[in-house]
Amino acid sequence: MRSCVIKIHNLPETNEPVHHITVKPIGLLIGIIILGLVFIIRYPYFVAAGFSLIMLATFALLVMPDRTLITFTKEYMILYNLTDRTSCTMIYWEDIVNWQYERHMRNDQLVVNLVNGTSEFMDVYSKRSVARYLEQYAPGKEKHQIGVGQG
């Protein structure tokens, strides 16, 4: 098994396409700004609502902190979930037995089970963003959660 915990500055340099999942939903915030502009331009009676949307989204974009949660490459994924912010978990695709997206009341979690019997847990905010890349790089390894009344 090649997966391991390493220091972030020791990550391999790569030129291959990389996908990142961050805390801040930048696309959604830009969409809210555009919606606010549409309200101001198209519906003059919604100027206050449009201005409020623009101010809220601009504040979130410029002031709120952002950090990378997960990075996907063709060979591995990197989880930045350790309490030591200088370290990360590098998981190679061939080391994954299965993965599961678990919904909880407080926050959702991505659970990745590895060939050595260990599991990695990552707090995530959207199954859609995570599942798309996991299905692309680790196809057929999703373990579906059994809900209440099923199974």
**98-143 pLDDT per residue, tens:** 999 998 888 889 999 999 999 999 988 888 889 999 999 999 998 8
> Which of 138, 96, 139, 103 is closest to 124 using CA atoms?
103
> Which of 9, 6, 19, 41 is closest to 133 using CA atoms?
19
Give the number of residues written for the chain. 151
pTM, 2 dp? 0.79
How does pLDDT run across 1-33, given as a tens digit for each residue?
Answer: 888 999 998 988 876 778 999 989 999 999 999
